[in-house]
Chains A and B, each alone.
Chain A
Amino acid sequence: MRRALTLFATLLLLWTVIGQANHALTGWRVYLFAGGLFVAFAALTQPHGPGLAAALMGGLLCDATTPVTFGTHTLLFAAAHVVIFHIRDRVPREDTIASVLVVLLTNLALFLIFSFSQIHDSPAPAAVWPRLMADLACSQIFLAVITPWFFALQAKTMALAGPGYASTG
């Protein structure tokens, strides 16, 4: 439980950072989506139970603060966590570039699924795609920059929470 709550605390910090960045970017009509970062570290380095619990709590956090059907982020994050956890033995987890790639691919998948689930409300769905693609490009660049920092932060926080928490138990 402590492991999951510690992971959730770092996700709360990530949510705050992304929220503040999006607040500052509203004048430019740019939006950053960082769903991949909410699940990647826990799925790559943590045991299944606490990692999944953290991903679920991160999803609930995102669901509560966005106007989507409650559970959309939660179930998407849970699915992403399970998929990454399933393939993690084939990923060089200690390699930063590999971690960044996992985050980027996860984020891409989550963004596209999320977009298809939300776009039906738009008066002209086809006209929204250029905006979504611009947001996706900005999000991916942003994630490529902050993923090493956030992974290091999560690893340090886990190490502080308990011995052996920083990696798979």
Chain B
Amino acid sequence: MPFKRLDQTRPFVTLALIVGAWLLIPTAIKTLTRATFFELTAPITITADYARVLKEYWSLRLHSKDELIEASRDLARLNSSYELAVQQNVELQSEITRLESLLRLPSFSEYRYEHARVARRDFSGWWQRIVIRKGKNFGIPPGAPVVFTGGVVGRVTEVYATTAVVELISSPNVRLAGVVEGDARPLSFQGGINPTFAPPTGVVEFMPLDIIATTQSPKRLVTSGFGGVFPPGLTLGTIVRADSGNDGLFKSGEVRLDERLGSLTEVTVLVPLANLGGR
């Protein structure tokens, strides 16, 4: 009978030993194990994405020639308007450079644009992140900002051999400084509340009392450029609600983020040019 009792407790003793051993294992070994297991899954993630690309390709092949002609006509129109915008952009850029040299202002950080396909989206109530199909092989550095047509996506948190992990601005772990468009006073933005079947949201804190935002007259929240990670002026979201805080000194509010964050397929990583030497 005592032998049977001992036999029954053996799994719990094993568990206690595992927990004890886990606490004693050096961090370096844990980091290595984590990287190893992530790299083990990388080919699966990438292969699944290639399969999705192939599926999209075959579904696009089903479009008729008339539809393709229409699409190319629309694209040609769009391209002509973009060409005009590019010319204006070059003009404005040279004006900025001239003013910077005249006023001896520090110039903004410059970036290389690295477009990457989203291999995996992983959005839970606890975290919001994506895996992109570019990593150390394309010189992606940790901490690099990631953008898409709707504004800021997030920042690179982990970089592996052929993939990188991007934490989205809707994630509760992301906190950054923003400003209301046309205003220079910084606010604190944090992602985190992502209700089911609804667009992602975030919260702003330390908002000046004179800023009024409602669903009828929302305010656009953009990056401030402070901290040097994100360039200034990129869209974070729209402030749709602002209430006075408990201290009466600042307001806090709700930010509605771009709904397209939930269906990202392509993003652009802004690689600081200073990092190019490290490739």
A106 to chain B, nearest CB (A): 15
Q: Report which of B48, B123, B190, B192 forms a contact with A31, defined as CB distance below 8 A.
A: B123
Contact A70 to B33, CB < 8 A, known contacts A130-B195, A131-B195, A134-B196: yes
Q: Is the CB of B18 within 8 A of A78?
A: yes
| Complex contacts, A82 vs chain B, CB 8 Å | 11-12, 14-15
Comparing A22-30, A91-99, A157-165, the segment that makes contact with chain B is A22-30
User: Which chain A residues in 11-63 approach chain B with CB under 8 Å?
Assistant: 12, 15-16, 19-20, 22-23, 26-31, 33, 48, 52, 56, 60-61, 63
Interface residues on chain B, number (Cβ under 8 Å): 48
| Complex contacts, A130 vs chain B, CB 8 Å | 195-196
Query: What separation, in Å, do the CA atoms of A114 and B125 have in the docked complex?
Result: 11
Contact A135 to B167, CB < 8 A, known contacts A22-B122, A48-B14, A82-B14: no
| Complex contacts, B45 vs chain A, CB 8 Å | 19
Q: Report which of B15, B35, B167 forms a contact with A78, defined as CB distance below 8 A.
A: B15
Question: Quick one: which of A33, A48, A56, A66 has the most chain B CB within 10 A?
Answer: A66
Contact A29 to B22, CB < 8 A, known contacts A61-B37, A123-B172: no
| Complex contacts, B35 vs chain A, CB 8 Å | 64
Query: What separation, in Å, do the CA atoms of A48 and B45 have in the docked complex?
Result: 31
Q: Report which of A20, A23, A29 forms a contact with B195, defined as CB distance below 8 A.
A: A29
Chain A positions 117 through 161: 1 when the CB is less than 8 Å from some CB of chain B, otherwise 0: 011011110011011101100000000000000000000000000
Q: Is the CB of B193 within 8 A of A122?
A: yes
Query: What separation, in Å, do the CA atoms of A121 and B171 have in the docked complex?
Result: 9
Q: Is the CB of A23 within 8 A of B122?
A: yes
| Complex contacts, B195 vs chain A, CB 8 Å | 29, 130-131
Can you list 26 residue pairs at the A/B interface with Cβ under 8 Å?
A: A15-B44, A22-B122, A22-B123, A26-B123, A26-B262, A28-B197, A29-B123, A29-B196, A30-B197, A61-B37, A64-B33, A64-B35, A67-B129, A70-B31, A78-B18, A79-B15, A123-B190, A123-B193, A123-B203, A124-B192, A127-B193, A128-B125, A131-B193, A132-B125, A134-B196, A135-B125
Top-9 shortest CB links A-B: A64-B37, A31-B124, A134-B196, A118-B126, A26-B121, A131-B125, A64-B38, A121-B172, A82-B11
B-side interface residues toward A, CB under 8 Å? 8, 10-12, 14-15, 18-19, 22, 30-31, 33-38, 40-41, 44-45, 48, 120-127, 129, 157, 165, 167, 172-173, 190, 192-198, 200, 203, 262-263
Could you list 9 further interchain pairs (A-B, Cβ under 8 angstroms) beyond the known A26-B122, A67-B129? Answer: A26-B121, A33-B124, A52-B18, A64-B34, A67-B173, A82-B11, A85-B11, A119-B126, A123-B192
